[in-house]
Amino acid sequence: PRNTDSYDYGRYHPINEIYDFQDMLVAENPNMVSKIVIGQSYEGRPLNVLKFSTGGTNRPAIWIDTGIHSREWVTQASGQWFAKKIVTDYGRDPTLTAILNKMDIFLEIVTNPDGYYYTHNNNRMWRKTRKPNPGSNCVGVDPNRNWDAGFGGPGASGRPCSETYHGPRANSESEVKSIVDFVKSHGNFKAFISIHSYSQMLLYPYGYTRTPVKDQAELHSLAKKAITDLASLYGTRYRYGSIISTIYQASGGTIDWTYNQGIKYSYTFELRDTGRYGFILPPSQIIPTAQETWLALMAIMDHTYKNPY
């Protein structure tokens, strides 16, 4: 495709096409979109973050990432659709326009690029990073168990061959460390949204402890609003609540760390499957999934914008 208008958002793309898409979007929208390389993956791929900004310096910001578990393809695909939606709707949708006139949005579409490349070329079922584990034949760490929040506790595995292996130490994976360093250096994130699939949930901290977060009531009611908006489009039903109370105990998770950094509106999505496809969601469901998810994202972003802290 020569531009992002003719790009096929209803298809799964290999990593080179996604990286080309990002560069096209930046080239087409020089006044709003820029690309920041926040680090390198273990195999040396750039960790690209798209910054959507209408000006100002170090404005309060919203982070969205997709694809931290590489086999969850509908998330990276939705990320590309979100990027195009933002540049299309700015100036047209009053809610998004108001948000972007005061806040920045950062979007990392391929958060685990080595894993994503591996799912296209070697093993479609790959979930983790690709860094070798010394002393083991098994490669990779679960990037959603590698964060410094209850690291190594229950709900993560110490076995390198496990799909939930937490790694040798917190932030051992460059894909995680790069985000940690970026969030710390930016210092003004107000919302952090990490997107997974496929069990249709909207979750807030904590995963590593049953101690409720201090903002539990607000996060719970905002989650309810977000998933109600989401369901309004195609009737897709979501569950919502804290990670530990809704699914299971999981330590070393992304949004437990971001919440502990003071980023109040920290959420994890689990997108579709409404049927029996699991990770192999048919591409015909990419755009409807992205559309409905966007409604929930807008609810969270709008609330963040209207409730500065």
Partner 1 sequence: KETFEGHQVLRIVPKDDVQLSLIKDLEDMIEFELDFWRGVTDAVTPVDIRVPFHSLQTVKIYLETQGIEYSTMIEDLQTMLDDEQEEMESAARVTQ
SS3 152: coil
First to last CA, the chain: 42
Which residue from 263, 224, 284 is spatially nearest to 11, judged by alpha carbons? Answer: 284
Beta-strand pair 265-271/189-197:
parallel
How distant, in Å, are the alpha carbons of 31, 195, 199, 253 from that of 258? 29, 14, 22, 9
Asked if 273 and 281 count as a contact pair (C-beta separation under 8 A), the reply is yes
Q: Does 199 bind partner 1 (CB under 8 A)?
A: yes
Among 184, 187, 278, 307, binds partner 1 (CB under 8 A): 278
Among 247, 260, 274, 295, binds partner 1 (CB under 8 A): 247
Q: Is the dihedral of CA 158, 265, 300, 247 positive or negative?
A: positive
Q: Which of residues 106-165 bind partner 1 (CB under 8 A)?
A: 121-125, 159, 161, 163
Nearer to partner 1, 133 or 304 (CB): 133
Q: Does 23 bind partner 1 (CB under 8 A)?
A: no
How distant, in Å, are the alpha carbons of 110, 136, 187 from that of 181? 17, 28, 10
As a dihedral over the C-alpha atoms of residue 150, residue 190, residue 305, residue 64, rounded to 10 degrees, the angle is -70
Q: By rule CB under 8 A, what string of x and - marks binding of each residue 57-96 to partner 1? A: ----------------------------------------
Asked if 193 and 65 count as a contact pair (C-beta separation under 8 A), the reply is yes
Q: Does 20 bind partner 1 (CB under 8 A)?
A: no
Nearer to partner 1, 98 or 280 (CB): 280
Q: Which tokens in the block code for residue 28? A: 């087409």
Stretch that binds partner 1, among 83-91, 99-107, 240-248, 289-297 (CB under 8 A): 240-248
Q: Does 8 bind partner 1 (CB under 8 A)?
A: yes
Among 5, 27, 221, 248, binds partner 1 (CB under 8 A): 248
270 among known catalytic residues = yes
Q: How far is the CB of 149 from partner 1 (least distance, A)?
A: 19
Q: Cα angle vertex 284, ends 283, 286, to 5°?
A: 65
Stretch that binds partner 1, among 146-154, 228-236, 241-249, 251-259 (CB under 8 A): 241-249
Structure letter (DSSP) for residue 265:
E
User: Which one of 72, 173, 175, 270 is the catalytic residue?
Assistant: 270
Q: Does 276 bind partner 1 (CB under 8 A)?
A: yes
| Binding interface with partner 1 (CB under 8 A) | 1, 8, 11-12, 121-125, 159, 161, 163, 198-199, 246-248, 276-280, 282-283
